[in-house]
Amino acid sequence: MAGKKQFDMDTALDAAMIQFWRDGYADTSLDDLSRATGLNRSSIYSSLGGKDTLFLRCLDLYAARYGAKYDAALSCAATEPVAAVRAFFDVTLERIADPELPDGCLIAQSVMAIPVLSPSVAAHAEQALGFQRLRLRAALKAGRLAGQDAEAFAVHAAAVNQSLAVMSRAGASPAQLLAIVGVTVDALSQALRVRSRHQIRADLHQACPNSPAPSSA
């Protein structure tokens, strides 16, 4: 029986996450959550917490589920940074294209709803959003981008990734989303080529001090 209860709670939490994802925090009532999970109000409070507590658990579930996918995509960043970033965006594009899932991104929607969230829930949503930038920065640094460049590109890539979710809700086509990703990945590829040429010149200058010093161009 204990195993069955755990399965039921996992299923209910997943259903609650989809409900919040589809309609947002403000437009999701306890009655909506009751219908989605199959639990009455009393059971929701006793098993899953109140609305804020349940929403926090749903944010954590979403962040863990897709965070693991993003981490797997970026795992080859040290040797293939461009392919890793493309795979990172593929996780988002595949999620958007899944007809079984709501449009958009639960975390992005939550951050945009901060004015109606409690301070603790708002802080949790902002932290979840920040994790995406941090994992991108770590991957880009492993891919031989300098600290400042890695941070700047991580901020940019995270912003693009969130915009894909927003644009998908606004009706952007898969081709349009793919084109946006292409521009970002091409920019990273060019930045890495420039850095590689500069590093080669720096290495040559170190080996041969009388050779011209590398320029920043």
User: What is the phi/psi pair of residue 103, to 5°?
Assistant: -70, 165
Q: What is the pLDDT of residues 31-84, one digit of tens each?
A: 999 999 988 888 888 888 889 999 999 999 999 999 999 999 999 999 999 999
User: What one-character-per-residue DSSP string does 160-172 give?
Assistant: HHHHHHHHHHTT-
How many Å apart are CA 200 and CA 154, to the nearest integer? 24
User: What one-character-per-residue DSSP string does 145-159 give?
Assistant: --HHHHHHHHHHHHH
Instruction: Give the amino acid at 60.
Output: D
User: What is the mean pLDDT of the segment spanning 94-121?
Assistant: 91
Determine the length of the chain.
217
> Residue with structure tokens 């920040």?
130
How many Å apart are CA 104 and CA 172, to the nearest integer? 11
- pLDDT at residue 146, rounded to an integer: 81
User: What one-character-per-residue DSSP string does 4-50 give?
Assistant: HHHHHHHHHHHHHHHHHHHHTTTT--HHHHHHHHS--HHHIIIII-S
Of the candidates 154, 15, 128, which has an alpha carbon nearest to the alpha carbon of residue 64?
Answer: 128
Q: Is 80 exceeded by the pLDDT of residue 29? A: yes
Sign of CA dihedral 99, 102, 107, 112: positive
How many Å apart are CA 135 and CA 145, to the nearest integer? 14
Q: What is the pLDDT of residues 113-153, one digit of tens each?
A: 899 899 999 999 999 989 999 999 999 999 888 878 899 99
Of the candidates 166, 188, 193, which has an alpha carbon nearest to the alpha carbon of residue 177?
Answer: 166
Q: Angle formed by the axes of helices 2-23 and 30-37, to 10°?
A: 130
Q: What is the pLDDT of residues 185-211, one digit of tens each?
A: 999 999 888 866 554 344 434 545 555
Asked whether the whole model's pTM tops 0.75, one would answer yes
